[in-house]
Amino acid sequence: MKIVCIGGGPAGLYFGLLMKQLDPRHDITVVERNKPYDTFGWGVVFSDATMDNMRQWDPPTAAEIQQAFNHWDDIELKFKGRTLRSGGHGFVGIGRKKLLNILQARCEQLGVKLQFETEVDADTDFPDADLIIASDGINSRIRNKYAPIFKPDIVTRPNRYIWLGTHRLYDAFTFVFEKTEHGWFQAHIYKFDADTTTYIVETPESVWKAHGLDKAGMDESIAFCEKLFAADLQGHKLMTNARHLRGSAWLNFQRVTCEQWSHFNGRAHVVLMGDAVHTAHFAIGSGTKLAIEDAIELTRQFKELGDTPERIPEVLQRYQALRRVDVLRLQNAAWNAMEWFENVGERYADQLPPEQFMYSMLTRSQRISHENLRLRDKAWLEGFERWFAERAGLQLPAHVQAPPPMFTPYTVRSVTLKNRVLVSPMAQYSCVDGLPGDFHLIHLGARALGGAGLVVAEMTCPSADARITPGCPGLWNEAQRDAWKHIVEVVHRQSDAKIALQIGHAGPKGSTNAPWDASGADHPLPAGNWPLLAASAVPYLDGGAVPRAMTRADMQRVRDDFVRSTRYAADAGFDWLELHCAHGYLLSSFISPLTNRRSDDYGGSLAHRLRYPLEVFAAVREAWPQHLPLSVRISAHDWVDGGITPDDAVQIARAFKSAGADMIDCSSGQVSALQKPTYGRMYQTPFADRVRNEAGIATIAVGAISEADHVNSIIAAGRADLCAIARPHLANPAWTLTEAAKIGYTPIPWPRQYLAGKNQMETLFAREKAQQSQPQYKEPA
């Protein structure tokens, strides 16, 4: 085959040499606009997995790279006058120049033609080629030429960064954070050869502008960074090797993805590779890894399907299908890490103490979990766990190992939860006339015995017409109060769990079926309906029952109903109360602009839409004993254009905080039937994180949190203070006890009646773990 690689970066060179090695008869040319030793950029980072891959595909190149590699294990953080370090992270770095020189030499040795100082205008410059690799980097001319076919999606990110180098040497991947009068700067630092270190400085656009760096030349920018990071640089200079660049030396990262990776131009097949088709932010490693792995995958497909021109279409199809998945996975992790660095200043650096800040930084991509950190550096993690537990109020003798964060206590007002797990409120639709009965005693009682710190009873309604379904519980009369009191007393007598009640009014989503009845959840009852109230006359479902927009008299009546329920809840002995302001129910219908169309004082701006929910909150807070906690559940994202966004959620949380809320329970959605949520593991936790660290109020994270490892990571990183677990508790009332056994946390107390099962469960999980544990490759953080 005749192959031309446009662009002699890692992708083009490595693919060229691999294909030549596959069959020396291939005629391969790499065309590069620069001179052979004229390359920019400092060190690049590889993972051990990429190195293993390279060793398999071309041992001589891998051996050369291996010799030139710098390996380091530790990550060091310099922050607020402290230096923290954790190990076991295993990175390797190499100078970009050195890497390209090794690849160039190997290409020449194998007979790949290298044509330097040649600017390629178009793929059609090579009419006799069978295959053209567009490995022409992030600004790929070839990708741009065929943009309607490749459909690139290019997102320019807000932070500014500058690639610099220094001769100060470091023995760890180092992060330094410095605050100026305008905001935070961070440096990402790693040594890549015997006497040089990459030094990338990054800051938000607003901070960069406030310092006038948008008008600064290269020398001024370097002088600025040298002064800012003087303590770290210890007299060393910063250097640039990009003096050829026009315009600002400070770049914005561009995230590139493409829908289609290849195209037949009428004569040859053109395929994108490396940065031309995808980019990954430097916060997670380097695009070089992806470029090299692209080259390997395409070669593998030629090897498996045949390296002849006829096989090209099939090969390219498989290449795209396979690479796309891996690349997306890495890009997602890189995106999380990038966002962490974009928001790090005010959200984390200003809020978190150094130990927790370090933990948050190490887990920024969200693919490194608590147990993964334990594998990397047990001593560091145990030190962190001790620090965390002591902050949570535990006094531990030196020989006693601290519990993981999930099993530390948490105190709000006068209530101390034994751990950070909540049984999330879950409607059971099993009452008659709003009276909880045997089912509720068994249901809530079993979960109270199952290890959670707080069991939250389902949404309970302040009046009969406030119910979602005829089976929903109520708290508008003394019989209901007494029924709840019985349950609360049993829970208190038989377990050390606390018990909460969630009070809520169904509003526009009332008078509907239980999920298993008639036409199913959210659909109107076939008969026996009651009139609905809402902020505005907007039905939840198209064609569904239309609620009446509340009058001021309705508002006063409903507020007073909430107060009556609150007093009954206090009489019943509940430890904690939650006000339901989420999921499109009555109070939520005021908050969301999708459901609140009012033109009076209770509609319009967010501040006005919050007025009624805050009025109810204030009345409830007043009626609820001062020594007991009151949390508020919100929908932090409507998942509909024009609806509530996480930015609004921060404002909503601030308003409830000022009104005296203790915690915000960060759920999302169910406000509009048009919602398009993005589900995934811990998918609502970013809202709890933002609210906690931007509004400065404690939060409860909820949604697809299904393992102790999730809870530990969330709590330890300060992304929330408590985790609510719903569906897993339906299947397993003893979810907390089970998860403790799974991670080998054995000091957790069990109900004494169940003790015979504890040891057995712990032994079985320990055995399972031992069987599974094999040396594993560790991804870079």
Ligand X SMILES: Cc1cc2nc3c(=O)[nH]c(=O)nc-3n(C[C@H](O)[C@H](O)[C@H](O)COP(=O)(O)O)c2cc1C
The residues of the shown chain that bind ligand FAD, judged by CB under 6 A, are 6-12, 31-34, 40-45, 96, 119-120, 135-137, 141, 163, 198, 274-276, 282, 286-288, 291
Minimum CB distance to ligand X, residue 457 (Å): 9
Amino acid at 354: P
Applying CB under 6 A, does 427 fall inside the site for ligand X?
Answer: yes
Minimum CB distance to ligand X, residue 705 (Å): 6
- Give residue for tokens 């959210």: 522
Closest to ligand X by CB, 703 vs 718, is 703
Kindly tell me which residue out of 704, 732, 738, 761 binds ligand X, with binding defined by CB under 6 A. Answer: 704
Read off the tokens for 527.
Answer: 């008969």
Closest CA to 422 of 402, 446, 448, 445: 448
Three-state SS letters, 40-107: CCCEEEECHHHHHHHHHHCHHHHHHHHHHCEEECCEEEEECCEEEEECCCCEEEEEHHHHHHHHHHHH
| 199 among known catalytic residues | no
Closest to ligand FAD by CB, 8 vs 453, is 8
Radius of gyration for the chain, computed over Cα atoms and rounded to the nearest angstrom: 30
Site for ligand X in 748-777 (CB under 6 A): none
Applying CB under 6 A, does 501 fall inside the site for ligand X?
Answer: no
Q: Which residue is nearest to ligand X (CB)?
A: 726
Query: What SS3 state is found at 674?
Result: coil
Name the one range near ligand X by CB under 6 A: 137-145, 230-238, 558-566, 696-704.
696-704
- Are 350 and 204 in contact by the 8 Å Cβ rule? The answer is no
Three-state SS letters, 153-165: EEEEEEEEEEEEE
Name the one range near ligand X by CB under 6 A: 103-111, 239-247, 396-404, 719-727.
719-727
**E strand or H helix that includes residue 166:** strand 152-166
H-type alpha helices, 593-751: 606-609, 611-623, 646-658, 685-690, 708-716, 727-731, 735-742
Read off the tokens for 699.
Answer: 């939060």
Strands 410-412 and 415-417: antiparallel
Distance, CA of 14 to CA of 17 (rounded, Å): 5
- 14, 540, 585, 602: which is the annotated catalytic residue? 585
Closest to ligand FAD by CB, 135 vs 480, is 135
Closest to ligand FAD by CB, 279 vs 566, is 279
- Are 11 and 133 in contact by the 8 Å Cβ rule? The answer is yes
45 binds, among ligand X, ligand FAD, none (CB under 5 to 8 A by kind): ligand FAD
636: burial class by Cβ within 10 Å (0-12, 13-18, 19+)? buried
Minimum CB distance to ligand X, residue 725 (Å): 5
Minimum CB distance to ligand FAD, residue 57 (Å): 16
Site for ligand X in 570-589 (CB under 6 A): 580, 582
Minimum CB distance to ligand FAD, residue 256 (Å): 10
Minimum CB distance to ligand X, residue 237 (Å): 53
Kindly tell me which residue out of 667, 672, 712, 736 binds ligand X, with binding defined by CB under 6 A. Answer: 667
Distance, CA of 42 to CA of 95 (rounded, Å): 6
Distance of CA 187 to the CA centre of its chain: 22
141 binds, among ligand X, ligand FAD, none (CB under 5 to 8 A by kind): ligand FAD
Q: ∠ CA 323-17-313 to the nearest 5 degrees?
A: 45
41 binds, among ligand X, ligand FAD, none (CB under 5 to 8 A by kind): ligand FAD
Site for ligand X in 502-521 (CB under 6 A): 502
Distance of CA 483 to the CA centre of its chain: 41
Distance, CA of 727 to CA of 554 (rounded, Å): 35
Distance, CA of 442 to CA of 221 (rounded, Å): 67
Closest to ligand FAD by CB, 53 vs 631, is 53
502 binds, among ligand FAD, ligand X, none (CB under 5 to 8 A by kind): ligand X
Applying CB under 6 A, does 458 fall inside the site for ligand X?
Answer: yes
Residue 616-655 contact track with ligand X, rule CB under 6 A, x = bound: -----------------x----------------------
44 binds, among ligand FAD, ligand X, none (CB under 5 to 8 A by kind): ligand FAD
762 Cβ neighbours under 8 A, 6+ residues apart: 741, 744, 746
453 binds, among ligand X, ligand FAD, none (CB under 5 to 8 A by kind): none
Minimum CB distance to ligand FAD, residue 358 (Å): 23
Applying CB under 6 A, does 727 fall inside the site for ligand X?
Answer: yes
Closest to ligand FAD by CB, 31 vs 506, is 31
Applying CB under 6 A, does 447 fall inside the site for ligand X?
Answer: no
Applying CB under 6 A, does 703 fall inside the site for ligand X?
Answer: yes
List beta partners, residue 421: 723
Minimum CB distance to ligand FAD, residue 165 (Å): 9
Which residues contact ligand X by CB under 6 A?
424-427, 458-459, 502, 580, 582, 633, 667, 702-705, 725-727
List the catalytic residues.
585
